[in-house]
A and B are shown apart, each in its own frame.
Chain A
Amino acid sequence: MEVAAARLIGAGLAMVGTIGAGIGIGMLVNGAVQGIARNPDASGDVQTNMILGIAFTEAVAIYCLVVALLILFVG
């Protein structure tokens, strides 16, 4: 049972890394929305780049998630 408990704790700790991605996505969207508010004509371009940036940032969070899932369900 100790290994199982360590697994749960480890998975929880792995997800701490998503804090960074959360901050990152917040800053990203903050910048994008300000840009769109100042120049609504550019909203299409800004949105595309924003989604790309979010995808990159989110990938980091997803790594944490994958690690957590691996800890939980593999082995």
Chain B
Amino acid sequence: MEKSSKKWRYGINRWLILLFVILNIFFVYYVYYPVLPHIALPAENVSQQFLSLPLFGDIYLTNTLIATLIADVILILIAIAVNRAVKSGNLIPKGLPGAIEAILEVINNLTETTAGKWSKNIFPFFATITLLVLIVNWMELIPGVDSIGRLEHVEHGHPITEVISGSGIWPLLDESNVEGADVQEGEFNLIPFVRVASTDLNFTVALALISVTMTQVFGFRALGATYFTKFVNVGGIFRRPVFGAIDFAVGLLELISEISKLLSFSFRLFGNIFAGSVLLFVIGTLIPVFVQSLFLGLEFFVGLIQALVFGMLTMVFMAQATQGHGEHHEEEEAHA
């Protein structure tokens, strides 16, 4: 930061923060006290019925799907902005394109040092996964995500008076739903329109499947059919029976480790972000003043780390798959 802008901004920001804290206290205790939202593992349906396909059955428009679509749109807009900046001929991009260039440069350097000659093929996966997961994770921090939605009549929920607070400020709710039901007795839950996509196992498993499948594809492209001898290793079983059998067992373990990669990829992202949003819910209802800001900072960090880790692990696994046993040592020597 430059000194000149810091001088006057610091004074204003201080009072703005104080104003927001006071407003926060006022709103929380006099206008609308937050209630703990219903915590559900599967994504909720926003539409009654979206599509009906012959093979897959009914497909609903879930709120995590909406979040994924929004993240896609944001990514495409960023891509268009960067494309425009590149086409303008200015070699030093400013603002958003500059930031994206810095991020991509870091990712590219990491890929090149790890993957070597395959970095051109692996880089797109690393970058795409990292950027998508990063945007999806950071959507958690936007006010309104997870909190704006429609009310739905459920068995175990909050009484309507608690949800609406009887104060004139309420979530965008389905009017007919509320008026039609018995206002005093019914129990209601908020079904948010947008919910962070990483809190849906469908999203994380899909990404993990893409990552692990493409790892096998890269391994096959780099090493040919010999890649699969890593899993079914029968080469040495006749020449030296004891060690051959051990090699065969190790190959089976490799096969299992590929499957466990799938599990750890999907559950790591899902667990971190789901636990993060539950934490935010609980803290937001326990101490609705100021404390949640600190946890938003923590979630900002966790979202970044998880996106980086997902992308980086994908890259490392792909790089390992492209390197055979002998080739690996040669490349290390070449680097040293």
Interface residues of A (CB under 8 A from B): 48, 51-52, 55-56, 58-59, 62-63, 65-66, 69-70, 73-74
Contact = CB atoms under 8 A, between A and B. Distances in A.
Given A51-B309, A51-B312, A52-B312, A66 B267 contact: yes
B36 interface: no
A53 to B, nearest CB: 11
A59 B278 contact: no
A74 B40 CA distance: 8
Contacts of A56: 264
B45 interface: no
B313 interface: yes
Contact of A55 (B39, B268, B270, B275): B268
A51 B267 contact: no
Nearest to A56: B264
B40 A73 contact: yes
Given A48-B110, A59-B264, A66 B313 contact: no
Interface of B: 39-41, 110, 264, 267-268, 270-272, 274-275, 278, 305, 308-309, 312-313, 316
A58 B278 CA distance: 18
Contact of B41 (A52, A63, A69): A69
A69 B313 contact: no
20 contacts: A51-B305, A51-B308, A51-B309, A55-B268, A55-B312, A55-B313, A58-B268, A59-B268, A62-B268, A62-B271, A62-B275, A63-B271, A65-B271, A65-B275, A66-B267, A66-B271, A69-B41, A69-B274, A69-B275, A73-B39
B41 A70 contact: yes
A52 B275 contact: no
A52 B313 contact: yes
Contacts of B264: 56, 59
Contacts of B272: 62
A74 B41 CA distance: 7
B104 to A, nearest CB: 17
A73 B309 CA distance: 27
Contacts of A58: 268
Contacts of B110: 48
Nearest to B266: A66
B242 to A, nearest CB: 31
Given A52-B316, A73-B39, A73-B41, A62 B308 contact: no
B318 to A, nearest CB: 14
Contacts of A59: 264, 267-268
Nearest to B201: A66
Contacts of B309: 51-52, 55
Contacts of A63: 267, 271
Nearest to A60: B264
A55 B310 CA distance: 9
A66 B271 CA distance: 6
B195 to A, nearest CB: 14
B111 to A, nearest CB: 12
